Amino acid sequence: MNADERRFEVLRAIVADYVSNHEPVGSKALVERHNLGVSSATVRNDMAALEEEGYITQPHTSAGRVPTDKGYRVFVDRLSEVKPLSSAERKAIQSFLEGAYDLDDVLRRSVRLLAQLTRQVAVIQYPTLSRSTVRHLEVLAITPARLMLVLITDTGRVDQRSVDLGDVITEENVARLRAVLNSAMGGKRLSDASAEVAQLPEQAPAELRDAMTRVSTVLIESLVEHPEERLVLGGTANLTRNVADFPGSLRQVLEALEEQVVVLKLLASARDPGTILVHIGEENEAAEMRSTSVVSIGYGSRDNLLGGMGVVGPTRMDYPGTMAAVRAVATYVGEILTGR
């Protein structure tokens, strides 16, 4: 083991102890707890070198050191592979998520599960509608002059809207509307379906034109994404367990999480279901989030990315365990949704 490799082992040990105990780590404790194979004097020299290079710092006058954002980054980058969860853990995740009955339930269960596994804040983005395709549109007459539209996408999203027609419509014409709309929209991405629907009123026969105009207007509104509906968060209270991890900034973090635009930006770079991204402290663009780390990943499939998901927590987090949990949950969510 050369000097650089030995110093990384010292850094790894400091990260492990600090994440576990939340106490600055001294050379004596490192020698006692970790089989580093060198003397206390060598460990002290290595710690001095790590501090000079900006990987650890001394928070106050004690002899202990804590990792910096730069130190966590080197530690994360040197993880050769993400430790897989045990078969029992994977089975528990799979059975919990497969019990969901619709998209909303899948996402709610996902954030609850991920928050429990990581003891952090979990967040998942609704499947981006622009990437979804129309599976079916059901058109139902609630009254002779009012329709219910039920739009179902390939990701399992169900969107319901009612339409007041201003005049009565026969069951036969309801069936005609349903057939024309499904012919125009079925199997198309929502953005393309929206363009098709916009053209339908002028193509409709005179007796259906007014009803088609009203239905098309409501449908186009439904096909436009609703940013306020695009995130599900869980486990926010987990951040309050260790307020000291967010000196003077916990309130800012909580407020930023409520501003879903901030979280959506954090997930925006999660573009690959096979790649876990870790943004540590100052690497986060939003100033309010610079006391946090964000572990994120895309979910879906390589051919059909549905959205991003991940966790937000303090920089003092169990990165290997968190990364493993995020990857596992994302894998099962992707399989459930793309398999529907």
Length, in residues, of the chain: 340
Spell out the domains of the chain, with CATH numbers in brackets: 3-78 (1.10.10.10), 87-126+230-338 (3.30.450.40), 133-227 (3.30.390)
Report which residue type is found at 41. Answer: A
pLDDT at 92 exceeding the cut of 90: no
Task: Please tell me the predicted confidence (pLDDT) of residue 228.
Answer: 47
Q: What does the pLDDT average to over 53-64?
A: 84
Determine the Cα–Cα distance for residues 318 and 29; give it in Å rounded to an integer: 20
Residues 190-232 have pLDDT tens digits of 878 888 999 999 899 999 999 999 999 998 887 766 544 578 8
Pairing of strands 277-280, 231-234: unpaired
pLDDT, tens digit (0-9, with 9 covering 90-100), for 295-317: 999 998 777 788 899 999 999 99
Q: What integer best gives the mean pLDDT of the chain?
A: 87
Residue 98 or 83, more confident: 98
Q: Alpha carbon 98 to chain centroid distance?
A: 18
For residue range 241-300, list pLDDT tens digits in order. 888 888 778 888 888 888 777 888 888 777 788 889 999 999 988 888 888 999 999 998
Least confident of 8-17, 53-62, 171-180: 53-62
Look at 264 and 121; give whichever has higher pLDDT: 121
pTM of the model: 0.76
Report pLDDT for 224. 66
> Tokens standing for 172?
């036969």
